């Protein structure tokens, strides 16, 4: 029987024809190879833990149930109040609570048990993101010897920050149970190797792999991207009316989930500095779309109030009867509309303080009219900056530097805009999600599963 693909991610898409780059890439890989997509599903209740068959024509979708207690401990707790802040250099926001790590391990163990009942020995398993670090170890302890790959969408933590985990040595062990660990950037790979090098249980092999007990794991970067062509098409089809009818001379745009890692207060302050110091430059508005996310986590509640306050202050100071400098939309906006708004913006501000990749940077570039493109202002701390070196790179903590970059973007001559856009577009095309999925899966298929003992290494 040919190898099927088993994908595990925090969410499985509810619609039959999914949209969004990552989801489309996984959907296509599953359609091609057949297999199962396993994840949580908003319509599945929480009564009893089980894998629920969600139907599906070309491949199966199985949803795991989470009790309210599981969700609190595993998802809101350990994943988003411990692992997320650690990966984004915010150890000050970590909430250590025994019930979080117990819940995280309990949910991973249960999913492993349920998976073990539905997988065949030849299947290739691809697990996504920080919700499931221990899943391979749990599967191995049940005797599963399949090829198992893991892709981390967020930054690989600094090794000193890993000491904040309740059980720091577990982290390297969890990763070692995969055959292949995929990270976003070369800098992430360097940090991961640094962790293994410092671990007396690990042996660095000449081919770059790591031997860890009976396990052998390879670590590589697979920079994620978007479906560039379909995003560009959506942007053309949905271009907004000319900017001046809505926003004065021009507008710059920001599109983010509302998250403390995205540098939004610093961005608003930088825009204020632009208005303060450059009153002779083009009059521009900032359109910031930032729908709520993870609102039950405390750190996320405070940031919304902060942003509303800064936007109010800036609008009060610089606004006019018919013009508000900052338009802050704190709600989801349909994808097509976002694509059109990105196309119409003279510049995009993608200025996270830390970010695995940041797909909005790539979406903005794909959405531009190559004849008259806008300019990407990009944080040096977004994974996207490793390859998109022709964007205007800034330190998002430096409000003056970001304000100067906004000015430069809005006054940049056409020829320079075109040259920078061409260079950035090359990166977007080279990292198209289809290429990304294919290169990860080919690399996983090429791994030789090591001789494994059953039980924990």
Residues known to be catalytic: 153, 355
* Contact partners, residue 50, CB within 8 Å, separation at least 6: 64, 65, 114
Q: Which of 355, 366, 380 lies closest to 431, judged by CA?
A: 366
d(CA 300, CA 292): 8
Among 8, 136, 338, 403, binds ligand ADQ (CB under 6 A): 338
Q: Quick check: 374 and 346 in contact, CB under 8 A?
A: yes
Residues 6+ apart with CB under 8 A from 348: 252, 253, 254, 255, 342, 360, 361, 364, 374, 375, 376, 377
Query: Quick check: 51 and 64 in contact, CB under 8 A?
Result: yes
One of 33, 153, 173, 177 touching ligand ADQ (CB under 6 A): 153
Chosen residue from 12, 162, 210, 224 binding ligand ADQ by CB under 6 A: 224
Which one of residues 289, 349, 366, 376 is an interface residue with ligand ADQ (CB under 6 A)? 289
Chain-centroid distance of CA 177 in Å reads: 23
Min dist. Cβ of residue 356 to ligand ADQ (A): 3
Entry field: residues in the chain: 457
The span from the CA of 325 to the CA of 311, in Å, is 9
Q: Is 257 in the site for ligand ADQ (CB under 6 A)?
A: yes
| Position 291 contacts ligand ADQ (CB under 6 A) | yes
> Which position among 7, 148, 154, 324 is part of the footprint of ligand ADQ (CB under 6 A)?
154
| Cβ distance to ligand ADQ smaller for residue 210 or 437 | 437
360 binds ligand ADQ (CB under 6 A): yes
Nearer to ligand ADQ, 130 or 174 (CB): 130
CA 79 from chain centre, in angstroms, equals 14
Stretch that binds ligand ADQ, among 203-211, 249-257, 303-311, 313-321 (CB under 6 A): 249-257
| CA–CA distance, 183 with 189 (Å, rounded to integer) | 6
Picking from 378, 373, 315, 377, the residue whose alpha carbon sits closest to that of residue 346 is: 373
Stretch that binds ligand ADQ, among 49-57, 94-102, 239-247, 254-262 (CB under 6 A): 254-262
Binding letters toward ligand ADQ, positions 410-439, x by CB under 6 A: ------------------------------
Beta bridge partners of 124: 5, 147
* The only residue of 138, 355, 387, 390 in contact with ligand ADQ, by rule CB under 6 A: 355
- Which one of residues 332, 370, 449, 455 is an interface residue with ligand ADQ (CB under 6 A)? 332
392 vs 377: CA distance, rounded Å: 5
Shorter beta-carbon distance to ligand ADQ: residue 9 or 402? 9
Q: Which is nearer to ligand ADQ, 127 or 412 (CB)?
A: 127
Range in contact with ligand ADQ (rule: CB under 6 A) among 141-149, 276-284, 351-359, 389-397 = 351-359
When asked if residue 255 is in the footprint of ligand ADQ (CB under 6 A), the reply is yes
Helical segments of 20-92, H only = 21-33, 68-70, 84-87
Kindly tell me which residue out of 81, 218, 285, 358 binds ligand ADQ, with binding defined by CB under 6 A: 358
Smallest separation, CB 412 to ligand ADQ (Å): 24
With binding defined as CB under 6 A, does residue 359 bind ligand ADQ?
yes
Least Cβ distance, residue 341 to ligand ADQ (angstroms): 10
Q: Give 39's strand partners.
A: 63
Smallest CA-to-CA distance from 364 within 405, 418, 326, 421 is with 421
DSSP 8-state code for residue 183? E
Please write down the HEC assignment for all residues of 38-52: EEECCCCCCCCCCEE
Report, in Å, the least distance between residue 224 CB and ligand ADQ. 4
By CB under 6 A, how many residues form the interface with ligand ADQ? 20
Residues of this chain that interact with ligand ADQ (CB under 6 A) are 22, 153-154, 224, 255-257, 289, 291, 332-333, 335, 338, 355-360, 363
């Amino acid at each position: 029987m040919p190898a099927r693909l088993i994908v595990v991610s925090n969410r499985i898409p509810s619609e039959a024809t999914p949209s969004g780059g990552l989801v489309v890439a996984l959907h296509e890989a599953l359609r091609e190879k057949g297999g199962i997509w396993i994840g949580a599903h908003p319509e599945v209740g929480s009564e009893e833990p089980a894998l629920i068959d969600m139907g599906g024509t070309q491949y199966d979708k199985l949803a795991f149930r989470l009790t309210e207690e599981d969700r609190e401990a595993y998802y809101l707790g350990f994943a988003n109040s411990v692992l997320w802040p650690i990966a984004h250099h915010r150890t000050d926001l970590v909430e250590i609570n025994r019930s979080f790590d117990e819940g995280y391990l309990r949910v991973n163990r249960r999913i492993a048990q349920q998976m073990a009942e539905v997988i065949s020995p030849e299947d290739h398993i691809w697990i996504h993101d920080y919700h499931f670090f221990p899943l391979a170890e749990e599967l191995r302890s049940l005797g599963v010897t399949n090829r198992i790959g893991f892709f981390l969408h967020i930054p690989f933590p600094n090794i000193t920050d890993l000491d904040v985990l309740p059980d720091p040595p577990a982290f390297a062990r969890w990763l070692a149970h995969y055959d292949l660990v995929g990270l976003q950037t070369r800098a992430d790979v360097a940090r991961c190797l640094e962790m293994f090098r410092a671990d007396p249980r690990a042996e660095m092999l000449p081919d770059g792999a790591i031997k860890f007990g009976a396990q052998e794991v390879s670590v590589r970067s697979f920079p994620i991207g978007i479906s560039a062509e379909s995003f560009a098409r959506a942007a053309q089809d949905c271009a907004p009316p000319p900017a001046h009818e809505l926003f004065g001379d021009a507008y710059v745009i920001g599109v983010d989930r509302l998250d403390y890692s995205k540098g939004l207060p610093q961005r608003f302050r930088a825009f204020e500095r632009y208005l303060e110091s450059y009153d002779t430059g083009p009059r521009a508005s900032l359109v910031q779309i930032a729908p709520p996310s993870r609102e039950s986590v405390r750190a996320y509640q405070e940031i919304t109030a902060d942003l509303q306050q800064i936007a109010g202050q800036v609008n009060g100071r610089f606004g006019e009867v018919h013009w508000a400098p900052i338009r802050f939309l704190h709600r989801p906006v349909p994808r097509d509309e976002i694509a059109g708004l990105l196309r119409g913006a003279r510049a995009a501000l993608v200025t996270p303080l830390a970010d695995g990749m940041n797909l909005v940077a790539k979406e903005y570039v794909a959405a531009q009219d190559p004849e008259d493109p806008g300019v990407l202002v990009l944080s040096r701390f977004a994974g996207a900056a490793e390859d998109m070196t022709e964007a205007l790179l800034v330190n998002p903590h430096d409000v003056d530097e970001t304000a100067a970059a906004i000015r430069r973007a809005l006054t940049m001559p056409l020829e320079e805009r075109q040259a920078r856009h061409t260079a950035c577009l090359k990166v977007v095309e080279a990292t198209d999600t289809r290429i990304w999925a294919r290169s990860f899966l080919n690399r996983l298929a090429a791994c030789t599963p090591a001789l494994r003992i059953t039980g924990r290494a």
